[in-house]
């Protein structure tokens, strides 16, 4: 009886470890990817309207299009603060996004 119990316990123990070894590691959560994307810088001189609308807080399709139109009419942005010259972009939108914005020549 004791021999049977030891064998059954050993088989159960081995079976549990074999299942654990076969289990796949958990897939990375989408939240981690989003956080990484949010940490990336957005260049006002190269971002398209879709990117601006998707990545900037308080900026939808119309404001994003206005940013691109301003850039096409006036040339590249020389500073992030120049974004205030775009119709519909106020200080609160700039403050929410300025740490993620950059301009390259």
- The 3 state secondary structure assigned to 14-42 is HHHHHHHHHCCCCCCCHHHHHHHHHHCCE
Using pLDDT thresholds of 50, 70 and 90, give the confidence band for residue 25: low
Q: What pLDDT is stored for residue 24 in this prediction?
A: 60
Average pLDDT, the chain: 82
Share of the chain above pLDDT 90, in %: 61
What is the CATH class of 41-102? mainly alpha
Q: What pLDDT is stored for residue 4 in this prediction?
A: 67
Q: How far apart are CA 60 and CA 27, in angstroms?
A: 31
Residue 67 pLDDT > 80: yes
């Amino acid at each position: 009886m004791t021999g049977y119990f030891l064998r059954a316990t050993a088989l159960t123990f081995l079976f549990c470890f074999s299942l654990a070894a076969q289990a796949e590691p958990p897939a990375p959560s989408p939240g981690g990817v989003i956080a990484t994307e949010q940490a990336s810088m957005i260049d006002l001189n190269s971002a398209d309207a879709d990117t601006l609308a998707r990545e900037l807080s308080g900026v939808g399709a119309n404001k994003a299009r206005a940013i691109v139109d301003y850039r096409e009419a006036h040339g590249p942005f020389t500073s992030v603060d120049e974004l205030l010259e775009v119709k519909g972009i106020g200080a609160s939108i700039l403050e929410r996004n300025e740490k993620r914005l950059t301009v390259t020549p």
